[in-house]
Amino acid sequence: MARQSIDEFLRANAQQQGSTDRFVLETSEILEVNVDGHVWAKVGTMVDYNGEVRFERQSSFDGGMKKFLKKQVTGEGAVLMKMEGRGRVYLADRKKKIAVFDLAGQSMSVNGNDLLAMESGIDWDIEMTGGAGITSGGLFNMKLSGQGMVAITTKGKPLTLRPPFNATNCLSG
């Protein structure tokens, strides 16, 4: 390992300044969220913050009784907290890599445990994944749709699957 001075270390690892984007990747494993209003984030991922931000754990019934029952029956879904106010919040989840998406009326399906953060304009629901879920460890995922930013985490390079997809396609070579 090469030697370096403290000043060199601080310069090489300095916080990115000046971005007004809602979600900013500080590193591949740390997300800066510029909160102005409210944003949802996975409980337990906040590592630091500054400003006037309040944190409130999502109620079991946020999203209505139907979503509550789906979460209870399937075991899918993220436990979220609302970050509300104005400031910067830094999120990380066990050294997982972070990917940020801007959904513009599109939708995506993600394992609830891998949802890191989403803007308030994103709607979610729990859906059956089809054949893929059986071989990848789960039968249900969270469907995210609407307008806004979404941040997800992965333990490595993700595999993206596009419809139509079924168990026969998954198991055949």
pLDDT tens-digit series, residues 7-63? 888 887 777 666 778 999 999 999 999 999 999 999 999 999 999 999 998 755 455
For residue 114, the 8-state DSSP code is: G
Per-residue model confidence (pLDDT) at position 156: 83
Per-residue model confidence (pLDDT) at position 114: 92
User: Token digits for 96?
Assistant: 């997982």
pLDDT tens-digit series, residues 106-143? 999 888 889 999 999 999 888 876 654 444 445 778 88
What superfamily in CATH does domain 19-155 come from? Answer: Mitochondrial biogenesis AIM24 (3.60.160.10)
- What are the helix and strand counts (H, E) for the chain? 4, 8
Please state the pTM of the whole predicted model.
0.76
Contacts made by residues 162-166, CB under 8 angstroms, sequence distance 24+: 165/130, 165/131, 165/132, 166/130, 166/131
Residue 89 has pLDDT above 90, yes or no: yes
The residue ranges of DSSP E strands in 77-121, in sequence order, are 80-91, 97-110, 115-119
Per-residue model confidence (pLDDT) at position 66: 53
HSE (side-chain half, CA atoms, 13 Å) at 44? 7
For residue 139, the 8-state DSSP code is: S
Instruction: Say if residues 46 and 79 touch (Cβ distance below 8 Å).
Output: no
Per-residue model confidence (pLDDT) at position 54: 97
Q: Residue 65's pLDDT band (boundaries 50, 70, 90)?
A: low
